[in-house]
Amino acid sequence: MILRSTGFVRMGVFPVIFISIIIHLLLFLSPTLAIDFLFNSFFNSTNATDLTLINDAKFDSSVIRLTNDSNQFSFGRAFYPTKLTMRPTSNSSALTSFSTSFVFSVLPEIDSSPGFGLCFVLTNFTSPPNAIASQYFGLFTNATVPVVAPLLAVEFDTGRNPEFNDPDDNHIGIDLNNIESIKVQSAGYYNSSGSFVPIRMRNGQNVRAWIDFDGTNFEINVTVAPANLSRPTRPTLTYRDPVIANYVSTEMFFGFSASKTQWIEAQRVLAWSFSDTGVLREINTTNLPVFKLSSSSSLSAGAIAGDSSIAAAAAATAGGDDNDRESSSGEVVPLQPLPPV
């Protein structure tokens, strides 16, 4: 009886252990699902399930509008709903590489008003804690208090804030848990002869951006150019430092974020391509809408400067209220069309 019982137990335990080992091996060896997509526009209503829209971000005809005109301290975010695996394991030193390209347009109601811009962001949360609007892109608290959780952003900044050490009101920056960029470069591209050609990101023109994240070499390359041009061979900005790994977690949401004050600035994303497989699908830019600044958009520079400082202070006070009123991420309703410009 004892021998038979022992034999039965041994025969039963072996298959269980064997199956358990096989399952663990399969889980360890199974490849991470690739993320590869192309939105040539956001006109199709099925995009309501393809993207997660936060707060004031809405589908506006064929584009994503990140902020609205009526809310004084408006901010909005648009994320791909599936998290991007940035590390195979939580303690892995290797990072995932990816490439993304998108077309955006930033159009103020008044040309000389303070600017804000938008960010492409990797973050642990679709709603970063204590984030405020105004010049903080709806992602950061302030320049002296860094974000707690890992957050990496590429900013396309259309405002100059001396407290952030901004070089001008038309620049690209790499932000690591802080709105003060670790690397910054004025917006523009290098043409075929190697000359730097400035581009204005705040006149409504369609600007195309390419971001290449090299997880092996801890390098970020950012390139911008007018949307009707081919991709320049030389990046606008390159940042390479192993410290990048400190601002990347195992899985992260990725997408766009923008904010503003009472000054109206329409931050739009018109098309978006992404791939972590090494092959980025090409955006067709020929049929994208074009937004133009009204010729009558003018206001006293002195009046704008005075109101701007008041708005910045008010934004910090209003930040908590903005966070409290964030809507459920899945709701999508049509945005009222902009007045003619």
148 part of a folded domain: yes
319 part of a folded domain: yes
179 part of a folded domain: yes
Question: How many domains does the structure of the chain reveal?
Answer: 1
**DSSP characters for 261-275?**
-SS-EEEEEEEEEEE
Looking at residue 337, its pLDDT comes to 33
C-beta separation of 264 from 125 below 8 A:
no
Neighbours of 246 (CB within 10 A): 11
1 part of a folded domain: no
20 part of a folded domain: no
pLDDT digit string, tens, across residues 142-173: 655 556 678 899 999 887 776 777 778 899 99
Q: Which residue has the higher pLDDT, 1 or 217?
A: 217
29 part of a folded domain: no
pLDDT digit string, tens, across residues 291-325: 987 665 444 333 333 333 334 444 443 443 333 33
Domain that holds residue 215: 38-324
Backbone φ and ψ for 197, nearest 5 degrees, come out as: -115, 110
State the chain's mean pLDDT as an integer.
76
Cα–Cα dist 45/176, whole Å = 34
Looking at residue 2, its pLDDT comes to 44
7 part of a folded domain: no
Cα–Cα dist 130/94, whole Å = 30
Q: What is the CATH number of the domain that holds 81?
A: 2.60.120.200
Neighbours of 172 (CB within 10 A): 24
Average pLDDT over residues 27-54: 75
| Percent of the chain whose predicted confidence (pLDDT) is above 70 | 66
4 part of a folded domain: no
Placement of tokens 């209003």 in the chain: 318
- Residue 309's alpha-carbon distances to 134, 251, 339, in angstroms, are 11, 38, 27
Cα–Cα dist 192/233, whole Å = 8
Q: Is the pLDDT score of 277 beyond 80?
A: yes
Looking at residue 310, its pLDDT comes to 36
Looking at residue 252, its pLDDT comes to 94
C-beta separation of 296 from 52 below 8 A:
no
